Amino acid sequence: MKKHYVAGMVALSLCSGAAVAQAQYYYQLPEGAGPYFRMGVGPSFFQNGRLSEFGTSVSSPVEYRTGLAASGAFGYAFNKYVATDFEVGYVGAKIDNVSGFNSDNSYIYNVPFLANFTLSYPIPRTILVPYIGVGAGGADVIFDTDSFSPVSNPGNYITGRENDVVFAWQAFAGLRFRLAQNLSLGVGYKFLATEDPSFTYPPDNFHVNFDGVRTHSVMAALEWKFW
């Protein structure tokens, strides 16, 4: 009798363990949870800035032409409302004019790398998903010029490409349209700001400083969810 009791307890334990394992195996993630990939591209509009140093302290307004913005991000959605991702991007434009300076084919490029936090709200019974978010991290800011010099002293010029890595942050908002369960296409606005970059040109450690870049981008984005 005792042997039958022990055998029954063992069988019951095995069945209970199997049921728990099966329940864990079939555990459902929250609706909308899982990894995703996003990429976007669009025009970028640079705020007018300022050249604050060219060997010595200066204060010259800087105007930019319309630029280009692009980005790609891998992230994870915890549910259909909250997500985080890591984004790498590009925002660049040609310098149109610097007061008191000659700027021959001079460009500013930003390569931001940012951790983002996004809040979304899928509107019930529609394909619309408005969203807002913020991000912070850094940016590799690049100044590239064929020739950059004061109008009053054109022989004192710099040429070539230098970079500086600075703190960067962004804020964004937009609207996605769900084309399928795992695919959406959207349009959004993104504001990117960086700290003031400083570029050092050899051989004499010649310093060229700009105000931190501020850009306003309008981007079309495609998002693919891996679930």
The token pair at 118 is 């996004």
Burial class (CB in 10 A: 0-12, 13-18, 19+), 57: exposed
Q: Domain for residue 54, yes or no?
A: yes
Q: Does residue 5 register a pLDDT over 60?
A: no
pLDDT of residue 32: 84
Question: Which whole number is the average pLDDT over 108-129?
Answer: 96
Q: Domain for residue 2, yes or no?
A: no
Q: Domain for residue 8, yes or no?
A: no
The terminus-to-terminus CA distance of the chain in angstroms comes to: 52
Rounded CA-CA distance 42/92 in Å is 11
Dihedral (CA of 151, 154, 156, 161) sign = positive
Work out the percent of the chain whose per-residue pLDDT is above 90.
81
pLDDT of residue 31: 84
Computed over every residue of the chain, the mean pLDDT equals 89
Q: Domain for residue 13, yes or no?
A: no
Q: Does residue 86 register a pLDDT over 60?
A: yes
| Bond prior to 35 in cis (omega within 30° of 0) | no
Q: Does residue 146 register a pLDDT over 60?
A: yes
Question: Which whole number is the average pLDDT over 80-99?
Answer: 97
pLDDT of residue 7: 44
Q: How confident is the model at residue 197 (pLDDT cuts 50, 70, 90)?
A: very high
pLDDT of residue 27: 59
Q: Does residue 203 register a pLDDT over 50?
A: yes
Amino acid at 123: I
Q: How confident is the model at residue 28 (pLDDT cuts 50, 70, 90)?
A: confident
Q: Does residue 3 register a pLDDT over 80?
A: no
- DSSP 8-state symbol, 80: S
Residue 85 has φ and ψ, to the nearest 5°, of: -155, 165
Classify 26 as helix, strand or coil: coil
| CA–CA–CA angle 115, 118, 121 (5° rounding) | 170
Long-range CB contacts (within 8 A, 24+) of 119-127 = 119/81, 119/82, 120/80, 120/81, 120/82, 120/83, 120/176, 121/81, 122/32, 122/80, 122/178, 127/177, 127/178, 127/179
pTM recorded for the entire structure:
0.84
CATH number at residue 120: 2.40.160.20
* Range of the structural domain that residue 120 is part of: 29-225
Query: Strand (E) positions, 47-195?
Result: 49-54, 56-64, 67-77, 82-98, 101-120, 128-150, 158-180, 183-194
Work out the percent of the chain whose per-residue pLDDT is above 70.
88
**What are the start-end ranges of the H helices in 55-156?**
none
Q: How confident is the model at residue 181 (pLDDT cuts 50, 70, 90)?
A: confident
Q: Domain for residue 1, yes or no?
A: no
DSSP string across 187-200:
EEEEEEEEPPPEEE
Q: Domain for residue 22, yes or no?
A: no
Question: Which whole number is the average pLDDT over 125-130?
Answer: 96
Number of domains within the chain: 1
Q: How confident is the model at residue 204 (pLDDT cuts 50, 70, 90)?
A: confident
Span 108-117, pLDDT tens digits: 999 999 999 9
**What are the start-end ranges of the H helices in the chain?**
2-25
Q: Domain for residue 211, yes or no?
A: yes
Q: Does residue 131 register a pLDDT over 50?
A: yes
Q: Domain for residue 11, yes or no?
A: no
Count Cα neighbours of 76 within 13 Å in the Cβ-side half-sphere.
Answer: 3
